[in-house]
Amino acid sequence: MKIPIDVPMTEQCVQFLLALLTGMALGMLYVLLRSFGRRAAAFLWDLLFVILSLTIGTTFFLTICQGYPRAFHLLGFALGAAWIFLLLGRVKRARRTQRSKHEKEKISSHT
């Protein structure tokens, strides 16, 4: 079995962008599944996420990478998921800040 070493740079860039998008999709899937369950059901949602992410990752590596994963594919997955977590974290903080300002205005108007 011979591993292809000379993958063109354009193909590597396309594969990295696809890995980045896949990582973003996995990050959104994780946030979505975690929003459904709290303490008791969290294990089941986490298990479902692991099964889905392994399936998606394996399919990605077999189809896009022709069965030869490289480090930049994993980096794309990680960067995509991290970007989603940071983006959604900022959105949550902004909503909390806006909600707390609104509650303070309600309290001050009632007194």
C-alpha R_g of the chain:
20
Those residues with Cβ within 8 angstroms of residue 42's Cβ, 6 or more apart along the chain or in another chain: 34
* Secondary structure (H, E, C), 73-110: HHHHHHHHHHHHHHHHHHHHHHHHHHHHHHHHHHHHHH
For the whole model, what pTM was predicted? Answer: 0.76
* Residue 111 binned pLDDT confidence (cut-offs 50, 70, 90): low
Q: Per-residue pLDDT tens for 68-107?
A: 889 999 999 999 999 998 898 777 777 777 777 767 666 7
Those residues with Cβ within 8 angstroms of residue 106's Cβ, 6 or more apart along the chain or in another chain: none
Residue with tokens 């899937």: 29
* Residue 37 binned pLDDT confidence (cut-offs 50, 70, 90): low
